[in-house]
Structure 1
Amino acid sequence: MKTYRGSLFAKLASIVGVAIFAITPALAQKPGATVHGHVTNPAGMSFTTGEVKFTTDQSVAYKDAKFATVVPIDGEGNYKATGVAPGNYYVYFVQGTTVADRLELKVKGEDTDLTLDDDMSRAEYIKQMTPEQQKALEEYKKKNAAVSSANEVIAKLNGTLKTVRADLAAAAPNKDDVSKDVAMMKEAVGAKPDEGLLWLTYGDTLLAQGRHLADADKKASKSPSSDDAVSQTYGEAVDAYKKAVALDSAAAKPNVAGLAADYNQLGNALTAQGKTDEAIPAFDNAAKADPTKAGIYYKNAAAVLYNAGQMDAALDAANKAIVADPNQADAYFIKGQALVTKSAVDPKTNKLTAPPGCVEAYDKFLALAPNDPKVPQVKAVLASLGETIDTNYKAPKKH
């Protein structure tokens, strides 16, 4: 079996060309042999376009030959020709107007099924290439190896993210130990330190682990604030979220949802550290980054301020949440709670009187969240204010 280089590969592009050429349909089944095979280019990759042409005109150049059979190379580098009559053939492997290779094939009368593979990465073929072509091929193979390696890393990281997210969801209700996931994400950010999503998820594992350690302290009647392991874990979570913010902010095309999540989680981690004054700006930045979810982020800020006993600031944040999203039930609860602290006794009636907007906020909360665990508490407050409570609240319909 001989090979033919001809005028192939003036440029390396013809080795790994990606142009899409018209495909000639395979001939209908007829008497003769079936010839099939796989075509591999000099870089060791499958040809995914092109044609295989059979001719018995061995005494003329390719451009003058008449082809008895022409079949396409499919997307996986395979071809199949049927009804190939007995004879001595030149089999050309062509991309567009470029002849990539030529092999010889003898079909005998008794042949019914023949395999003719064309592996252009063979040493004999490479030696026929010019020094320039060989150099370009080696550079391409190195670059392709780097891309393949990067793709393998990304595939592994995507698998890690999927596993960790599932673990965090399962651990959250009982604040279970997630130290295994912390280790996995530490390795992930080490493998690709320029990806904000990885730092965000790393922060999430640290925050969850910090909550697990703090919960264990509480169960043991210890103060989490005096536990160095808790402080260190929360601190590392804050650092991870700050890294995510820096990377996502600097991205050429910032992902607003991702950046908002970075800021929101940074706020949660700072809250866990007891740094309320630093947490609130983080929630505000989350709302600015993604206004479509501003109601959630302002509500989170309101909850932090409410839990910290900063009622005026909590009321302000709750009002921002309500403006951004009128269906934030907890924002109405916090607003009602913040306002009820300003209630006063009417000297004329000797009854407790709530400031304007308080009762309305509670009513709205009951309308939006009739099954919330805080409902009995709200109803008790309304009763103390002498308000009639509507007992017909139903959960709003889902759209």
Structure 2
Amino acid sequence: MKRILSLCLGLVAFVAVPVMAQAPAAAPTGKIHGHVINPTGAPQGAGNVTALPSGKDKGDVFQVNAQGEFTGEVPAGTYTLVFRMPDTPQDKQVDKIENVKVTAGQTTEQDIDMSREAYVKTLPADQQKQLEDMKKHNSEALKANEVIKHLNADLKTVADDIHEADATKDPAAKTAKFTEAEQLMLKDTAAKTDASILWARLCQAEVGLKKFDDAITSCKKAVDLETTSKKPNPEVQGLAQSILGEAYARTGKVEDANAAYDAAAKANPPQASFYLKNQAVIFFQQNNAQAQIAAADKAIAANPNPNDPNLAILYYLKGQGLVGSATMGPDPKNPKQQIIILPPGCAEAYQKYLELAPNGPYAADAQGILQQAGQKVSSSYKAGKKS
């Protein structure tokens, strides 16, 4: 009897054990990602997107970030994406995209583009007109920006070309660099006729190619544009006037050259000494001693530091311009010996050169002229030993 009772109790205990219910399998999901674009074509950096399953009036809400992007994850299925601004009532909507199919395990890309024609046509007529005008303006601005981008790239190339052309001693390489610069600036001045810097760089390239008449025309164009500009650029003015001065100097128009260089110095005072120094060098290259002396004196006067080593070349150029007027005559200390009689200011110019550049490239030349003139060289220059 006890045995049967025990068996019955065991059966009762077994039956009483509860059975665990199994949770339903989670529905497979997919991702939705997209951009919200406002009617102007720009990102809509505020608001939210609701993913409504087909036949439902409620769904998951995803926030739109500052870049106009939204991202979310929903069960696989077909959805309507509803966009609302932060202040849009829940029973209203700004825009919607229907029949968006989300596949399990995949990302569905779907933008809400309110610049599309179908949406824009739903707006009031005055808003449509404003959008049309805005898009036209933006399109023109984008085109202008693209042009400016290309022009700036060309200007950098031209600046590099001119620098390399000035540095090389190979005539063919020099011509090639100036030619490339000229071709770029001819193209760019045709594309944008009102940019003074383009004309100034064209002028610079034309001077390098010895096309002086063309250069004068181009530089004058740059100067005219700067003169009528509401915001003149001193650096462009200085560049254009100084290159114009060089073109005039190379063609023997001394008065015009002097006027242009003076205008460059006046337009851009910080570079005045540089412009006038170039003026003296160019007149030296043109064998115009009088213009060379005058330009050297102006450049020296424009430098506030009388002991600036950069002045050395100017004193040498002044001396070189003056020495051409030297004569031969008896040495006061030894009348039987002939020496060079230097014109006023010549010896002082050479002495100043030696003072500022005692070991400069023209030191031996300056010392030699002073010694032939019976002058005592008051500098620390020491001639190298002859081999």
What is the TM-score normalised by the length of structure 2? Answer: 0.71
Letter of the structure 2 residue corresponding to residue 387 of structure 1: K
State the shift of 1:339 in Å: 4.3
For residues 289 and 137 of structure 1, the distance between their equivalents in structure 2, rounded to whole angstroms, comes to 45
For residues 364 and 254 of structure 1, the distance between their equivalents in structure 2, rounded to whole angstroms, comes to 38
Greater C-alpha radius of gyration: 2
Give the % identical residues. Answer: 32
Gap runs ≥5 in structure 1: 1-30, 211-232, 394-399
Aligned pair partner of 1:336 in 319, 330, 340: 319
Deviation readout 1:351-398 (Å, 9 max, x if unpaired): 6565665444324434545665433322321222343352369xxxxx
State the shift of 1:316 in Å: 3.6
State the shift of 1:285 in Å: 0.7
State the shift of 1:197 in Å: 0.8
Contact 1:91 1:105 in 2 (8 A): no
For residues 290 and 194 of structure 2, the distance between their equivalents in structure 1, rounded to whole angstroms, comes to 40
State the shift of 1:201 in Å: 1.5
1:79–1:67 CA distance, 2 compared to 1 (3 A): closer
1:70 is matched with 63
Contact 1:295 1:324 in 2 (8 A): yes
Contact 2:75 2:104 in 1 (8 A): no
Q: CA RMSD in A?
A: 3.8
Contact 1:51 1:73 in 2 (8 A): no
1:176 is matched with 175
State the shift of 1:192 in Å: 0.8
1:69–1:309 CA distance, 2 compared to 1 (3 A): closer
1:143 is aligned to 2:137: yes
State the shift of 1:142 in Å: 1.9
1:297 is matched with 275
1:94 is matched with 85
State the shift of 1:190 in Å: 1.1
2:70 is matched with 79
For residues 106 and 298 of structure 1, the distance between their equivalents in structure 2, rounded to whole angstroms, comes to 73
Contact 1:69 1:84 in 2 (8 A): no
State the shift of 1:312 in Å: 5.0
Letter of the structure 2 residue corresponding to residue 380 of structure 1: G
Q: What secondary structure does 1:317 align onto?
A: helix
Contact 2:326 2:341 in 1 (8 A): yes
Alignment of 1:1-399 (within 5 A): 34-43=31-40, 45-47=41-43, 49-54=45-50, 69-74=62-67, 77-81=68-72, 91-94=82-85, 100-103=94-97, 113-172=107-166, 173=168, 174=171, 175-177=174-176, 178-210=178-210, 233-306=211-284, 311=289, 313-325=291-303, 326=308, 327-340=310-323, 348-349=332-333, 350=335, 352=340, 354=342, 358-369=346-357, 373-385=361-373, 386-388=375-377, 390-391=380-381
Letter of the structure 2 residue corresponding to residue 124 of structure 1: A
State the shift of 1:209 in Å: 1.9
Letter of the structure 2 residue corresponding to residue 205 of structure 1: A
For residues 181 and 297 of structure 1, the distance between their equivalents in structure 2, rounded to whole angstroms, comes to 22
State the shift of 1:109 in Å: 11
Q: What secondary structure does 1:252 align onto?
A: coil
Deviation readout 1:180-200 (Å, 9 max, x if unpaired): 543332221111111111111
Contact 1:50 1:96 in 2 (8 A): no
For residues 146 and 343 of structure 2, the distance between their equivalents in structure 1, rounded to whole angstroms, comes to 62
Gap runs ≥5 in structure 2: 1-27
1:369–1:52 CA distance, 2 compared to 1 (3 A): farther
Contact 1:55 1:90 in 2 (8 A): yes
Contact 1:263 1:283 in 2 (8 A): yes
Contact 2:354 2:381 in 1 (8 A): no
State the shift of 1:310 in Å: 5.4
Q: What secondary structure does 1:197 align onto?
A: helix
Letter of the structure 2 residue corresponding to residue 176 of structure 1: T
For residues 187 and 129 of structure 1, the distance between their equivalents in structure 2, rounded to whole angstroms, comes to 44
1:309–1:294 CA distance, 2 compared to 1 (3 A): same
For residues 318 and 94 of structure 2, the distance between their equivalents in structure 1, rounded to whole angstroms, comes to 75
State the shift of 1:279 in Å: 0.9
State the shift of 1:263 in Å: 0.3
1:7 is matched with none
For residues 278 and 109 of structure 1, the distance between their equivalents in structure 2, rounded to whole angstroms, comes to 79
1:197–1:357 CA distance, 2 compared to 1 (3 A): same
1:27 is matched with none
1:300–1:109 CA distance, 2 compared to 1 (3 A): closer
1:314–1:167 CA distance, 2 compared to 1 (3 A): closer
1:70–1:40 CA distance, 2 compared to 1 (3 A): closer
Matched positions, count:
333
Q: What secondary structure does 1:328 align onto?
A: helix
For residues 60 and 225 of structure 2, the distance between their equivalents in structure 1, rounded to whole angstroms, comes to 58
**Greater alpha carbon shift after TM alignment, 170-179 vs 244-253:** 170-179
**Greater alpha carbon shift after TM alignment, 313-322 vs 85-94:** 85-94
Contact 2:250 2:286 in 1 (8 A): no
For residues 71 and 339 of structure 1, the distance between their equivalents in structure 2, rounded to whole angstroms, comes to 79
Letter of the structure 2 residue corresponding to residue 383 of structure 1: Q
State the shift of 1:277 in Å: 2.3
Contact 2:37 2:44 in 1 (8 A): no
Contact 1:200 1:240 in 2 (8 A): yes
Deviation readout 1:24-78 (Å, 9 max, x if unpaired): xxxxxxx9764321223334x34152232438799xx9xxx9985434142xx43
Letter of the structure 2 residue corresponding to residue 159 of structure 1: A
**Greater alpha carbon shift after TM alignment, 168-177 vs 271-280:** 168-177
**Greater alpha carbon shift after TM alignment, 139-148 vs 100-109:** 100-109
